[in-house]
Amino acid sequence: MDTNLLLNIAQQYGCPVYVYDGNTIENQFQRLQDAFKQVKKLKINYAAKALTNISVLKLLKKKGSGLDTVSIQEVLLGLEAGFSPDDIMFTPNGVSLEEIEEAVQLGVHINIDNLSILEQFGAKHPDIPVCVRINPHVMAGGNSNISVGHIDSKFGISVHQTPHILRIIENTKMKVNGIHMHTGSDILDIEVFLYASEILFETAKQFKNLDFIDFGSGFKVPYKEGDLETDIEELGEKLTVRFNEFCKDYGKNLTLVFEPGKFLVSQAGYFLAKVNVVKQTTSTVFAGVDSGFNHLIRPMFYNSYHHITNISNVNGKQRFYSVVGYICETDTFASNRKIAEISEGDILCFHNAGAYCFSMTSNYNSRFKPAEVLFYNDAVHLIRKRETMADLLQNQIAVNFD
């Protein structure tokens, strides 16, 4: 995104502020569609948890996306954004049967990931089709926090427990119309993903009335210049051939489903923060910004890398800085990072801030959550106002001790 545009947004809406490029989101969606254009039935369900702003949801709906949701609140947001219930998949983890039944009442598709709930649901609602989430026991993500298909993961029903699933289906006469897996985020090795897909295909053969197979997502995006990413075009070429072969053997054209989140919105996001102070110590130069892990937790929580540029001095001499926040905890965004020379009042831009950034914000230290702005087709739209003191107090009830 143009540096001057970002500076203008920072000046108009203040800092800190999240900025999203809607055209980048659309381009990523189209790229995934093009990679799998030889599949007769393709369904892309955006993983709402990555970025839940209702304007972003509306933009993806306009593009033809469905929605992958993990909470009843995300389901309600999707409906508010105009998604048809038939275009929403509910894939929770560790929720009660009551929450799943609430989603059923809203008319959305259900994806169940444990034997206990599957059996309870099948006994009570045998006529409502469900999808079953399988754990293929494949470590496909970058680390144990974002890889959810490994053997110790809490997600999904072990592929080795497939006989139990089949027994539940036989006993309850319930309908299973989909099989699902999600191995984790930051998938780089396509062959590992294809290996996990083979496990899913072998499992799917044992279910006779499927309408779709959901392969999850977790495609890696580049975080800095020269960084590696999932070769989505190569994956599309190889998985399409195998999927079409499976459909032929199965005797039915199934729908191939993906649920990308980071792939669609990560690179579209920019987080702008103003430098409050430049602090020289005996060993380090700190650039302290008007934000912290309350606004961008990924570096501290996942040890994730976000490229940082000084958009107030793009051509300045490169110096080493540790970029830190204003929270009363260690909240380091980057350590000893080369950045164009920083002065107090400069605007720093954190790249790849579209996925799991604003959606993981908090009010820690009673700080306000930042504003969000969408740039789309040459127009700038404020899509979330900056919080105020009234927002912090809205749901609190003050007891009178007089």
- What does the alpha-carbon distance between residue 18 and residue 370 come to, in Å, rounded to a whole number? 7
Mean pLDDT of the chain: 94
Residues 257 and 294 in one domain: no
On the 0-12 / 13-18 / 19+ scale of CB atoms within 10 A, 272 is: buried
Percentage of residues in the chain having pLDDT higher than 70: 96
Say if residue 323's pLDDT is above 90. yes
Q: Which of 220, 237, 264 is the last residue of a domain?
A: 264
Return the pLDDT at 190.
Answer: 86
Q: Which of 239, 264, 289 is the last residue of a domain?
A: 264
Residues 222 and 282 in one domain: no
* 337 known member of a binding site: no
Q: Which among 15, 131, 328, 349 is annotated as catalytic?
A: 328
Residues 258 and 310 in one domain: no
Say if residue 4's pLDDT is above 70. yes
Tell me if residue 132 falls in helix, strand or coil.
strand
Return the pLDDT at 261.
Answer: 96
Residue 251 lies in a domain: yes
Q: Is 247 a catalytic residue?
A: no
Mean of pLDDT values over 300-328 = 97
Return the pLDDT at 188.
Answer: 73
Residues 130 and 231 in one domain: yes
Residues 228 and 327 in one domain: no
Residues 256 and 315 in one domain: no
- What does the alpha-carbon distance between residue 38 and residue 235 come to, in Å, rounded to a whole number? 12
Lowest mean pLDDT among 8-22, 70-84, 132-146, 247-261: 132-146
- pTM for the predicted model, two decimal places: 0.94
Residue 8 lies in a domain: no
Judged by phi (left if over 0) then psi (alpha if -120 to 50, else beta), residue 196 lies in alpha
Residues 139 and 167 in one domain: yes
If we measure between CA atoms, which residue out of 390, 381, 394 comes closest to residue 9? 381
Residue 12 lies in a domain: no
- pLDDT tens sequence across 216-238: 988 999 998 889 899 999 999 99
Show the domain range for 252. Answer: 23-264
Residue 310 lies in a domain: yes
Residues 222 and 286 in one domain: no
Return the pLDDT at 218.
Answer: 87
Return the pLDDT at 140.
Answer: 54
Return the pLDDT at 184.
Answer: 66
At position 192, the amino acid (one-letter code) is V
Return the pLDDT at 37.
Answer: 97
* 167 known member of a binding site: no
β-pairing verdict for 88-90 and 109-112: parallel
Return the pLDDT at 148.
Answer: 45
Residue 93 lies in a domain: yes
Residues 344 and 259 in one domain: no
Residues 180 and 204 in one domain: yes
Return the pLDDT at 285.
Answer: 98
- pLDDT tens sequence across 139-197: 655 544 444 444 567 889 999 999 999 999 999 999 999 999 987 657 778 898 899 99
- pLDDT tens sequence across 247-304: 999 999 999 999 999 999 999 999 999 999 999 999 999 999 999 999 999 999 999 9
- How many domains would you assign to the chain? 2
Residues 260 and 334 in one domain: no
* 302 known member of a binding site: yes
- What does the alpha-carbon distance between residue 228 and residue 162 come to, in Å, rounded to a whole number? 35
Q: Which of 247, 264, 281 is the last residue of a domain?
A: 264
Residue 246 lies in a domain: yes
Residue 193 lies in a domain: yes
Mean of pLDDT values over 37-59 = 98
The sign of the torsion formed by the CA atoms of 70, 358, 349, 275 equals negative
Residues 246 and 358 in one domain: no
CATH number of the domain that residue 186 is part of: 3.20.20.10
Q: Encoding tokens for residue 63?
A: 């593009």
CATH number of the domain that residue 380 is part of: 2.40.37.10
- What does the alpha-carbon distance between residue 174 and residue 110 come to, in Å, rounded to a whole number? 13
Return the pLDDT at 182.
Answer: 84
Residue 315: how many other CB atoms lie within 10 Å:
7
Residue 240 lies in a domain: yes
Contact predicate 353/18, CB 8 Å: yes
